[in-house]
Each structure stands twice: as C-alpha cells, then as structure tokens.
Amino acid sequence: MLALSAFAAGLLFGLGLNVAQMVNPAKVLAFLDVTGSWDPSLALVMVGAIAASAIGYAVAKRRGIPVLGDKLEIPSRRDFDARLIGGAAIFGVGWGLVGLCPGPAVATLPLGLWQVLAFVVAMLAGMGLCAALPSGKAGSSSRAVDA
C-alpha cells in the first residue's frame, strides 16, 4: 500500500509540474528574469504548493500519526550553516542557468532529451558528493511527534 501511495503521489506531482509548465525551462527562466520580460505565473504555482504543504502539515500535526506510517517526523533543525547556504546557492545557480530543478527534471526524463539526462546525471553526482562530505553536525535533523 505504501508503494502504491508513493507512486500515486509522484504521478500527481509530475502531472502538476507538467500542467504548471515547470518542466519548460523557458517558462522557468522567464519567471526568474525579474529585470527583463518577467512572467510571474509560476509564483501562483509556488503559493499553491506552500498552501497545500501548510495544510498537510497542520492536518498531520493534529492527527499525531501519519496515514501510512508508524510515526510522524517533522524537521526540527532551524539553524543555518555553510552546508545549507552553499547547497541553496548551488541549487539557485543551477535553476537560474538551466531552468530545471530536480522534480521537473525527473518528470521530463521520459522525453529523452540529452540535456535533461545530462542535468540529472550532474544532479546525482552532486548529491553523491554531498553525501560523501562530512556534515559537521551530529544527531538527527527531524523529530518524532508524540500523539
């Protein structure tokens, strides 16, 4: 059941990315071009995603347990470190240069474009490099919420 729900959530997410045109690098780059011909339409997608996430977190916290899991884990770290800021900067530069981020890149893979494949390979290499680097922090980055 867990695998089926994960598949359905991923399918819905990918469909949403396609409908919102977040898989279209030209659309994303037009959104990021605030000093040129700015296209603010993707801001509505982001606002919708934030609203849906906020509602989901509120419902999950109220229930105390997830629908398909044993315990609810919500991130507890609130600090900013060089690793977080560096990762965010690399993500932003990559998004600004290419017009893709991880979700839309994976959703675009079935099109067979070599540029998207190159992006995903580079993304996976970066993720592997990040995992290999020491984190500098001990302990978990999430906490279980008691019911």
Domain range enclosing 140: 2-145
**CA-to-CA separations, 25 to 9, 55, 94, 96, 97, in angstroms, rounded:** 23, 29, 12, 9, 9
Please tell me the total count of domains within the chain: 1
Each residue's pLDDT tens digit, 36-94: 888 998 889 889 989 998 998 888 888 888 877 788 888 888 888 888 898 889 888 88
Q: Residue 139: pLDDT above 50?
A: no
DSSP state of 111: G
Location of structure tokens 């690098």:
25
Helices (H), 41-113: 41-63, 82-98, 102-108
